[in-house]
Amino acid sequence: TIFPDGRTLQIGTVHNLGQNFSKTFEITFENINGVQEYAYQTCYGMSDRVIASIIAIHGDEKGLCLMPCIAPIQIVIIPIWFKGVKKEINKEAEKIKEELSDFRVHIDYREVRPGSKFFDWEIKGVPLRIEVGPKDIENNVVTAVRRDNGEKIKLGRENLKAQVKELLAKISEDMRSKAWEKFRNRIEEAKNMEEAKKLAGERKVIKTYWCGKEECAKSIEDEISLDILGITEEVKGKTCIYCKGEAKFTVHLAKTY
């Protein structure tokens, strides 16, 4: 993926192991001719770099911003206490928690100002905050606030579960498309070395074309001070950015972690 500073992070890997390990462990299969053969293996790896990516890609100046599917707490309920109605508000908060038992919900009963609570849960990236105050009870609503864009929404008390479910789905979808948009905007095509150098200065990930010769790859990396991230796909009708010969592959260039 691409981090906000324009450098790329390799999250997952795909390896073609061939028959190396199946020979060692004697993993065989019967082929179409009834002959035993060593199996061909591939291996896919994902590491805790995924967590670093989540923090960097979705986080903002307020802190973490977690997608509902992975958030340990999806909804935090903040009771807004006023003199004389504390008990009633807590009762309502418990009722809401029970109605939303399909989700991971936490009620923050700490004896601190609501503002401090908002701040704490924003840092931790809880996707949705629900505020319950005397006015909300009076109007038969709750106040929901999205972590991803700060939007404040009044939800009617009827069918709260369905409304919250829809809202969390919307948050996920918006976060996903926002991240993809940022990703795509980072990649730009360079047709020659001058363009590539200019884009490198703008911290872009560069899409370009390469003939397949190692000396060209080395010169490209040296002169632009970026790494070739690997071959993206085979290509026809394009010229190598360095030698101007026929290009065989599309490649991406970037600074990497």
107 is an interface residue for Zn ion by CB under 5 A: no
DSSP 127: S
Q: Does 242 interact with Zn ion (rule: CB under 5 A)?
A: yes
Q: Is 56 in the site for Zn ion (CB under 5 A)?
A: no
d(CA 38, CA 21): 9
Q: Which stretch binds Zn ion (CB under 5 A): 8-16, 37-45, 133-141, 216-224?
A: 216-224
* Residue 189, token pair as written in the block: 């095509």
d(CA 12, CA 9): 9
DSSP state of 106: E
Q: At what angle do helices 193-201 and 214-224 cross, to 10 degrees?
A: 40
In this complex, which beta carbon is closest to Zn ion, that of residue 54 or of residue 196?
196
6, 226 contact by CB (below 8 A): no
Q: Does 216 bind Zn ion (CB under 5 A)?
A: yes
Within 10 A of 218 (CB to CB), how many other CB atoms are there? 12
Stretch that binds Zn ion, among 18-26, 114-122, 185-193, 235-243 (CB under 5 A): 235-243
* 56 vs 243, beta carbon nearer Zn ion: 243
Judged by CB under 5 A, which stretch of 5-13, 69-77, 201-209, 242-250 contacts Zn ion? 242-250
Could you tell me which of 87, 58, 80, 53 has the C-alpha nearest to residue 145? 80
Output 94 or 195, the one with its CB closest to Zn ion.
195
Contact pick of 57, 105, 206, 240 for Zn ion (by CB under 5 A): 240
- Give least dist CB 240 to Zn ion, A: 3
Count residues binding Zn ion (CB under 5 A): 5
Q: Considering the rule CB under 5 A, would residue 209 count as an interface residue with Zn ion?
A: no
Beta bridge partner(s), residue 25: none
243 counts as binding Zn ion under rule CB under 5 A? yes
Q: Are 151 and 128 in contact (CB under 8 A)?
A: no
Q: Is 65 one of the binding residues for Zn ion (CB under 5 A)?
A: no
Does residue 211 interact with Zn ion by CB under 5 A? yes
Task: Give the whole-angstrom CA distance, residue 43 versus residue 60.
Answer: 34
Q: What does the binding site for Zn ion look like in residue numbers (CB under 5 A)?
A: 211, 216, 240, 242-243
